[in-house]
Amino acid sequence: MTLLLAPMEGLLDFTLRDILTRVGGIDRCVAEFIRVTGTLLPERVFYRIVPELRHGGRTPAGVPVRAQLMGSDAVCLAENAARLAGLGPAGIDLNFGCPAKIVNRHGGGAALLEDPELIARIVGAVRRAVPAAMPVSAKMRLGFNDDSRTLECAHAIVSGGACELVVHARTKADGYRPPAYWERIARVREAVTIPVIANGEIWSVSDALRARELSGCDTLMLGRGMVSDPGLALAIVAEARGGHAELGWAQVQPLLVAFWALVCGHIEPHARAGRLKQWLNNLRRRHPQAEVAYAAVRTINDPQRVAERLGLVQPPLAEVRDDELMEVLA
């Protein structure tokens, strides 16, 4: 069982990738998308969204990170992919699944599932623009309004030269409403010649096992389930090996301390409280104690007051060193 950490715009950025990959169980990450809209982006944009590029394309825990591009202009995407490849990511991923209305209105993300020929041109252009050794993968949904073109889109991605395909088991119209149709991923896996990864609605070990059974995929991508339960990947790995692992609130608390240190070291002051509350809000699904913590700071936006209310240390604004974080997590 191989487990990947999903790209999640506005939630799973480099700070949370850092913390979640330190817990263990995750084999590879895909960073949140870098939007390409007709210009060649400066290197600083790539570094801002994927700062792991400065460290060999890996998180501090050593987990590889692929950078994700999103857009609809094949030539511009290829130019940006070439520049990005020179910065040393663990691979380049292409987004054909984002359901956001503003993205889809401009022909990006899941909107491309209505145009398999353009998908093939995009994948092919990016594949030709980067070194042969650089992995080029893609992530798609089952379709836009329905799944009638699922296989057509999957074949387009393969024909363009992608080495791997993640399938989110819902259409754009489905959004994030349960259920995820893992059994429909099996049709894709059987129809293409590259590895297929199942994604969507995996909140627990039992979900992971069911997704694996119905999709036939040995590799799964975890998103909101991992954010809500930082120990989910470890638990899935342990189950696959015939054991048991569980991360309780006592083990989550030092992760929150470490996350707060990272946020205070890298995020603008006005956004710090929101980032912590956002994660606490997700943790409520798995840990009742997070409900209490979230309620205590829900209406507070001043980071100093948030830190005081939760008993967190407000670190200096200087970048927190990796060895200090390892000490916190130890």
98 is catalytic: yes
How many Å apart are CA 70 and CA 95, to the nearest integer? 5
CB atoms within 10 A of CB 84: 27
Q: Name the catalytic one among 29, 76, 98, 153.
A: 98
d(CA 41, CA 83): 8
Residues 35-46 as b or e (16 or more Cβ within 10 Å = b): bbeeeebeeebb
Catalytic residues: 98
